[in-house]
Amino acid sequence: MEPGEPREPQEPREPGPGAETAAAPLWEEAKTFYDNLAPKKKPKSPKPQNAVTIAVSSRALFRMDEEQRIYTEQGVEEYVRYQLEHENEPFSPGPAFPFVKALEAVNRRLRELYPDSEDVFDIVLMTNNHAQVGVRLINSINHYDLFIERFCMTGGNSPICYLKAYHTNLYLSADAEKVREAIDEGIAAATIFSPSRDVAVSQSQLRVAFDGDAVLFSDESERIVKAHGLDRFFEHEKAHENKPLAQGPLKGFLEALGRLQKKFYSKGLRLECPIRTYLVTARSAASSGARALKTLRSWGLETDEALFLAGAPKGPLLEKIRPHIFFDDQMFHVAGAQEMGTVAAHVPYGVAQTPRRTAPVKQAPSAQ
């Protein structure tokens, strides 16, 4: 054919053998690529009255030490300006972060087994931050792919009055005064502390450890120890072994965990349950352990493990358990847990607490 000479029209050729099968993987590959670009569909938020609601403050969920310093030293206007300038920089994870991730892992399992049920964990970000700081919080939550749809930002006012409206089962904060307010309102609450070193925790099983007296139970027994000593306490516990202790501030949270555990048990998954609970108490098993266990039984509750330490330090045992959170009413045990790498939370309830300050220390809008 000479250059420039028009080509003769050609008949379309039939696809050769294997052409369709060769194209299929290419199409599937392209489909997967574009599916990954599309926004992932998130589950529907449950109605608060149907869920186990965990309210977490911004400074419990994220590390905000630098922001707190700016607020304390330079005031609220500079604090807000700094947050706006850095709103595209995600916060680093705070002490409650692994706990929240574990809650979401449990939710995924529950939704696989019970697609239409709203009896799951619902996480609410509860903060007295100003609304304009919310963009950085939202960006941080999206950065870590957390499912937190409910926010409460109160612009400098205390958020405690909203906890009941959100049907809160547990409130975690870095602000001890806010936690005390919540406890006074009858809401399970604790001040959360970062561990002194990072320890890997389970990615597939939520582990929660509780002290007994003044946490799950009332402080009745601690009052007797304080007033009359250990010998009288042992006598009292023996005499009242079959009388259940009154409930403490976190009894309701253990009850909620137990309810969700039973949903896995009913599917034959007791041994593979993604929730595990622990009683870690300074009580002695022989002299005062029976009353604690019988009290739980009378409530229709149980813990997966019960560890009676007879006054021994709790930190080394918690290091073996590696819970996502440990609740105790005494700062001595909280500090011991921190030293061993455990995220510990102080429950300010009962006779062991120090008197309240008359004037609270100045806190940043995020310092909860």
For residue 230, what is the domain's CATH number? 3.40.50.1000
Residues 157 and 214 in one domain: no
Residues 212 and 75 in one domain: no
Q: How far is CA 106 from the centre of its chain?
A: 11
Residues 348 and 240 in one domain: yes
Residues 215 and 310 in one domain: yes
Looking at the domain assignment, is residue 72 inside a domain? yes
Is the CB of residue 102 less than 8 Å from the CB of residue 276?
Answer: no
Residues 75 and 180 in one domain: yes
List CB contacts of 194: < 8 A, sequence separation 6 or more.
Answer: 63, 94, 95, 338, 343
Would you say the pTM of this structure is higher than 0.85? no
Residues 273 and 164 in one domain: no
Domain-ending residue, one of 158, 191, 224: 191
Residues 235 and 338 in one domain: yes
Looking at the domain assignment, is residue 100 inside a domain? yes
Predicted local distance difference test score (pLDDT) of residue 40: 54
Domain that residue 214 falls in: 206-352
CATH of the domain at 79: 3.40.50
Catalytic residue among 122, 175, 211, 328: 211
Predicted local distance difference test score (pLDDT) of residue 225: 83
Predicted local distance difference test score (pLDDT) of residue 16: 52
Residues 172 and 223 in one domain: no
Looking at the domain assignment, is residue 324 inside a domain? yes
- Residue 173 CB burial class (10 angstroms; 0-12, 13-18, ≥19): buried
Place of tokens 């709203």: 118
Looking at the domain assignment, is residue 58 inside a domain? yes
pLDDT in tens, the chain (368 residues): 444 444 444 544 554 555 444 444 554 554 444 444 444 567 788 888 889 999 999 999 999 999 889 988 998 889 889 999 999 999 999 999 999 999 999 999 999 999 999 999 999 999 888 888 889 999 999 999 999 999 999 888 888 999 999 999 999 999 999 999 999 999 999 999 999 998 999 999 999 999 999 999 999 988 888 888 888 888 888 898 899 999 999 999 999 999 999 999 999 999 999 999 999 999 989 888 999 999 999 999 999 999 999 989 999 999 999 999 999 999 999 999 999 999 999 999 988 886 544 333 334 444 44
Residues 85 and 182 in one domain: yes
Domain-ending residue, one of 191, 223, 254: 191
- Residue 351, classed as helix, strand or coil, is coil
Predicted local distance difference test score (pLDDT) of residue 261: 97
Looking at the domain assignment, is residue 1 inside a domain? no
Predicted local distance difference test score (pLDDT) of residue 110: 97
Looking at the domain assignment, is residue 38 inside a domain? no
- Where would I find the beta strands (DSSP E) of the chain? 52-56, 62-63, 92-93, 121-127, 150-153, 168-173, 189-193, 206-210, 275-281, 305-308, 325-328, 344-346
Looking at the domain assignment, is residue 27 inside a domain? no
Domains of the chain: total:
2
Predicted local distance difference test score (pLDDT) of residue 354: 65
Residues 123 and 213 in one domain: no
Residues 135 and 172 in one domain: yes
Residues 67 and 176 in one domain: yes
Listed residue (53, 46, 56) closest to 252, CA to CA: 53
Looking at the domain assignment, is residue 187 inside a domain? yes
Does 211 qualify as catalytic in the annotation? yes
